[in-house]
Amino acid sequence: MSRVAKAHPPLPPSEAARLAEALIFCAPAPLSEADLAARLPAGTDVPAVLGEIARAYAPRGITLARVAGGYAFRTAPDLAPALRGGVPEARKLSRAALETLAIVAYHQPVTRAEIEEIRGVTTSKGSLDLLLETGWVRLRGRRRTPGRPVTYGTTPAFLDHFGLDAVSDLPGLDELKGLGLIEGRLPAGFRVPQPSDDAGADEDPLGPGDAAAD
C-alpha cells in the first residue's frame, strides 16, 4: 500500500514574513510575487506577507518598495537628502546621453534613426554604447523595414534605478511640468508619449547571436 506524502502546513504569518524578508534582502534583483511564492511554503498568502513586511518597515529608514515588477528594500525617500553627502557621486551622463535615454524610455521600441529624428541631431555611437554599458538600455529587436534596423528599449535595471515598477509609471506631461522639467508655452498639440515596453507591431525579436547594433 503506497504512502501518501503529508503536506506541510503553511508557516505562521510572522514566520512566513521573516522568510520572505530574508529572501528579498538577499536577492540581487527585485523579487516578484511569483518568485516569492516559489520559495515560500505552499499555501502562503504572499500579498498578505508583503503587506505585513511593508507595514513593519514603513516607519523605519529602509522601506519595502515595488520596483521593476518586483519587491526590494530601498532607503526611505525622505532620508535621501541626508545620505547624498556620504555616497560616492555616480558617473554623470552627458546631455546627449540623457536626451537619448529619455527618447528611448518614452518612444520604445525606437531605432537610432528615429532617435536622431526626434533630437534633430546626429546621435553619436558613444551615447548609445554608454547607455548599453550602464545596463539601462538594451537591444530589443529589428524593425520590419529595409535594412532591418535595431530597436532599443529600457531594461529592468533602468526601472530599478529610477524606482519605477513599469515604464508606464514614467511621469506624464502634467507631472513633468510640476517637476519644472517643462517650462514656457508649449506648441499646440504637444504631448508626451505614453511609454510602453510591449513588442512593436512592426518589430521582430532579436534572434540567437544577433547582438550587433547598427
The values of phi and psi at residue 12, to 5°, are -55, 150
The values of phi and psi at residue 142, to 5°, are -135, 140
Tell me where in the chain the CATH 1.10.10.10 domain(s) lie: 13-77, 95-205
Which residue did the predictor score with more confidence, 27 or 179?
A: 27
Whole-number pLDDT of residue 6: 45
Pair 94, 127: CB distance under 8 Å:
yes
pLDDT by residue (tens digit) across 93-122?
788 888 889 889 888 888 999 888 888 877
Residue linked to cell 532591418: 148
3-state SS string for 40-92? CCCCCCHHHHHHHHHHHHCCCCEEEEEECCEEEEEECHHHHHHHHHHCCCCCC
CATH top-level class for 95-205?
A: mainly alpha
Mean pLDDT of 71-77: 89
CATH top-level class for 13-77?
A: mainly alpha
Give the count of alpha carbons within 13 A of 213, CB side only: 21
pTM assigned to the model: 0.64
